[in-house]
Structure 1
Amino acid sequence: MDATTGTVDGVALVALAAREGTPLYVYSAPAIRGRVRALRDALAGLDAGIRYAVKANGNGAILQLLAAEGAGADIVSGGELQRALRAGIAAADIVFSGVGKTDVEIDAALAAGIGRFNVESRAELDAIQRIAAARGCTAVASVRINPDVDALTHAKISTGKAENKFGVPTDEARAWFDGAAQWPNLRLDGLHMHIGSQLLSLQPVREALQRMAAFWRELEAAGHAIASIDVGGGLGVRYRDGEVAPDAAEYAAAIREALAGFGGRILVEPGRWLVAEAGLLLTRVVLEKQGRARRFLVLDAGMNDLLRPSLYEAWHDIVRVGGDVGRERVAYDVVGPVCETGDTFARQRDMPRCDAGDLVAILGAGAYGASMASTYNSRPLAAEVLVEDGRYALIRKRQDFDAMIADERPANEWKSA
């Protein structure tokens, strides 16, 4: 966002709000393309593939944009499988992660011909074998290793420590490779890891990569061919001014160093890093409220629109559209209208004084914003737009009340279970 002009890629936010209303998610197509290309360039020379983590932002237009740039998909549900396929992502470029894949989801993935499962338990191995045998096909799978590395991130998005639910220890994985003959319809030839999200230091990544590489070499020495190593995602982004995050070149260098000599396919699963900073949540000031102890800035966006601050105590930079020239500075608690004290975007945030009707942009909202939104308090889902070169496209219309309650039914058709 250009704070001076109040524009994104040549589109005026004031005009956009007048046309499409608020709250409104605004995504920059050039920013997303730029991130994909930067990562692709950094990985040049490696047999590497980008598998975008759909959970970060699953809007169909975003997925189509990424597909056009050659990205595949990392999915964690049957719904995300359908989203990826409908966006034109080839089934062979889809990896299916997650600890709780159901039989229905596994069957759908096999029917589609996805490239690879990232397996997280013995029960899942058995389920894939059973379903693949019934289909008369062979599934391809990687074992998700839990390297027991502290990702140095928020506890709720740390996934690589021994107490986390994700992956298996190497001794269990080793037994799977040694006993692979018991799953004749499953080709176990890959390794996978993902230690957490919003990683601002590459040190945990390097440590986890080193453990992964040591295990790969051990398996190959034991006669197990490894065709794929999936290093996961989790690269952090700058949510606040002055924050330093790793860049693509640093990340790729860490991968090259750890996996030197590996002759198979390397997969990376970025989500947040590709889309977070490309998006903002545009919202309008409803009112100011002077409480006994705090001064509140009440917005028309709430925690149902952007859950991260409430769920993770996450920081997002918040700026007044139109700038702050000539305005006094105020320490605001920036809140929404939802009936929860947790509906708070920032506490004691230093901002220019805002008036009712002013527009405010919550930055860094391209990932885990719209994808985690709900209709709590019967608040319809916000609209989403994609902007580029002075124009915009509505990529999700604002939900109206009738659409919000469309699947509800009166209790007048009772049935026996």
Structure 2
Amino acid sequence: MNPSQISAPGLPGQPHVAYRNGSLHVEDLALADLAHEHGTPLFVYSKAAMLSALAAYQRGFAGRKALICYAMKANSSLAVLQVFARAGCGFDIVSGGELDRVLAAGGDPAKVIFSGVGKTCAEMRRALDVGIACFNVESEAELEVLSAVAVQAGKTARVSIRVNPNVDPKTHPYISTGLKGNKFGVAHERALLAYRRAASLPGLEVVGIDCHIGSQITQESPYLDAMDRVLDLVESIEMAGIPIHHIDFGGGLGIDYNGDTPPQADALWKQLLAKLDTRGFGDRQFMIEPGRSLVGNAGVCLTEVLYLKPGEQKNFCIIDAAMNDLPRPAMYQAFHQIVPLSPRNEDASVYDVVGPVCESGDWIGHDRQLAVQAGDHLAVLSAGAYCMSMASNYNTRARAAEVLVDGDKVHVIRARETIADLFRQEKLLP
């Protein structure tokens, strides 16, 4: 992408990221200044972008009984959680560690939904002790274990069963979760049986139904299909004498990585709520669990060009960010736009943009037209979701620093790791 062709006010999918006077900015701050001050790789997040994305959901639910639970696996940095907690959000968690992060960030445990296929007894006890809103139970075996844990603790576990509706979300197979071949949820055909069992077990209170079909969904039809299947089940479950107080439709709405055109959250929910009203469920409590769509386009990763390496078949632009910092390309063959912080007025060459990690899978972008030299800085766009939360220390690489931009202010929300940090829990033999 030639930055001179980018139209104001912002880059595609990232309205809070824009070129001004030949320099890329996030909100009111020049990214080149942040790179020089804080070093690279560096994750930079826009608070305004997060709240703008959240506002679309809030508009979609205006006048409804609804709880927006941020799916924190997308980005679990404490300050990011704090932004959403202060905005009134609940949280969708998938581990005991994520629960502790919510509490550390000031989140309300009474607005926490605990999802995930492999909850341990210790995690269940901790969640019961702090008083979470609901467990999204993902198997019949989990019902039995949760019942036993709740009875032993002398508490009641509020449960919603996650139903697998066998709907194709038309996304990458690694992030599809609502098909029969996926590990998530209870099969649609067994859901009524599971609800009857849940209603009979001590220590459990059935409060809702849950469905989540995948991530980076860019079409409306999978949501509409899944909703019909879930509402059919609600009718059957309530005919069996088991009331369903809330309906949880999960998350998964995609973002614009490379010309993707997902529906806007408010427009999508206008359609979904119309269907709910038509079928007589418009007065129910609703829960949703957006993650990527709240933070994905709020973040960029800044990186420095280390070397340009020409070759017979490929030219390589070697940067200081790698697959341990930005795992999505290596893991999902995902596309991220890569643009210079300060564009050069010279002819571009075609490069594979790669990192220093000792793997051929360590690439950030294939066949990118860039006019760059060693020492230049680049921005990897749409890096707010599933980058830092999935980062690793492979090749004994310290994880990047993170900063949050709020207008013309910047807050360091995670200090850069040191190599000493990586050794801290290790022991030499005597």
Question: What's the TM-score once normalised by structure 2's chain length?
Answer: 0.93
Query: Quick one: distance in 2 between partners of 1:376 and 1:27?
Result: 24
Alignment correspondent of 1:61: 79
Q: Secondary structure at the match of 1:18?
A: helix
1:312-358 alpha-carbon deviations (Å, 9 max, x no partner): 0000000011124x22121110101110000011111122x100010
Alignment correspondent of 2:363: 344
**Contact 1:53/1:75 (CA < 8 Å) preserved in 2?**
yes
Alignment correspondent of 1:258: 275
1:347-394 alpha-carbon deviations (Å, 9 max, x no partner): 11122x100010000000000010000010111000000001112000
Amino acid at match of 2:274: E
2:339 to 310, 315, 319: 319
Query: Quick one: distance in 2 between partners of 1:65 and 1:180?
Result: 36
Superposed displacement of residue 243, structure 1? 2.4
Aligned ranges for residues 281-320 of structure 1 at < 5 Å?
A: 281-320=301-340
Percent identity over the alignment? 44
1:270 to 290, 311, 322: 290
1:171 to 189, 200, 203: 189
Query: Quick one: distance in 2 between partners of 1:375 and 1:180?
Result: 42
Alignment correspondent of 1:2: 18
Superposed displacement of residue 259, structure 1? 2.2
Q: Secondary structure at the match of 1:118?
A: strand
2:223 corresponds to 1:205: yes
Moved more, 387-396 or 216-225: 216-225
Amino acid at match of 2:333: E
Query: Quick one: distance in 1 between partners of 2:60 and 2:246?
Result: 19
Aligned ranges for residues 98-117 of structure 1 at < 5 Å?
A: 98-117=116-135
Amino acid at match of 1:104: A
- CA gap of 1:214–1:182, structure 2 versus 1, over 3 A, is closer
Query: Quick one: distance in 1 between partners of 2:272 and 2:239?
Result: 21
Amino acid at match of 2:228: Q
2:42 corresponds to 1:20: no
Aligned ranges for residues 174-253 of structure 1 at < 5 Å?
A: 174-240=192-258, 242-253=259-270
1:244-303 alpha-carbon deviations (Å, 9 max, x no partner): 121012221232033222233100000000000000000000010001211110100000
**Contact 2:109/2:133 (CA < 8 Å) preserved in 1?**
yes
Superposed displacement of residue 10, structure 1? 1.1
Amino acid at match of 1:327: E
Aligned ranges for residues 333-372 of structure 1 at < 5 Å?
A: 333-351=352-370, 353-372=371-390
Alignment correspondent of 1:328: 347
Superposed displacement of residue 189, structure 1? 2.6
**Contact 1:96/1:118 (CA < 8 Å) preserved in 2?**
yes
Query: Quick one: distance in 2 between partners of 1:244 and 1:172?
Result: 35
Superposed displacement of residue 18, structure 1? 1.1
Amino acid at match of 1:288: L
1:388-416 alpha-carbon deviations (Å, 9 max, x no partner): 1112000000000111110010123xxxx
Alignment correspondent of 1:415: none
Superposed displacement of residue 181, structure 1? 4.5
2:52 to 16, 34, 38: 34
2:70 corresponds to 1:52: yes
Query: Quick one: distance in 1 between partners of 2:88 and 2:293?
Result: 16
Amino acid at match of 2:349: V
Query: Quick one: distance in 2 between partners of 1:160 and 1:257?
Result: 23
2:151 corresponds to 1:133: yes
Amino acid at match of 1:249: D
Moved more, 104-113 or 252-261: 252-261
Moved more, 185-194 or 303-312: 185-194
Superposed displacement of residue 36, structure 1? 1.1
Query: Quick one: distance in 2 between partners of 1:274 and 1:185?
Result: 35
Query: Quick one: distance in 1 between partners of 2:178 and 2:19?
Result: 38
Amino acid at match of 2:129: A
**Contact 2:199/2:242 (CA < 8 Å) preserved in 1?**
no
What is the root-mean-square deviation of aligned Cα atoms in Å? 1.1
Query: Quick one: distance in 2 between partners of 1:176 and 1:237?
Result: 34
2:415 to 394, 397, 400: 397
**Contact 1:3/1:323 (CA < 8 Å) preserved in 2?**
no
Q: Which runs of 5+ in 2 are unaligned?
A: 1-16
Q: Secondary structure at the match of 1:259?
A: helix
Alignment correspondent of 2:11: none
2:161 to 133, 137, 143: 143
Q: Secondary structure at the match of 2:366?
A: strand
Query: Quick one: distance in 2 between partners of 1:205 and 1:264?
Result: 18
Superposed displacement of residue 93, structure 1? 0.2
Superposed displacement of residue 208, structure 1? 0.5
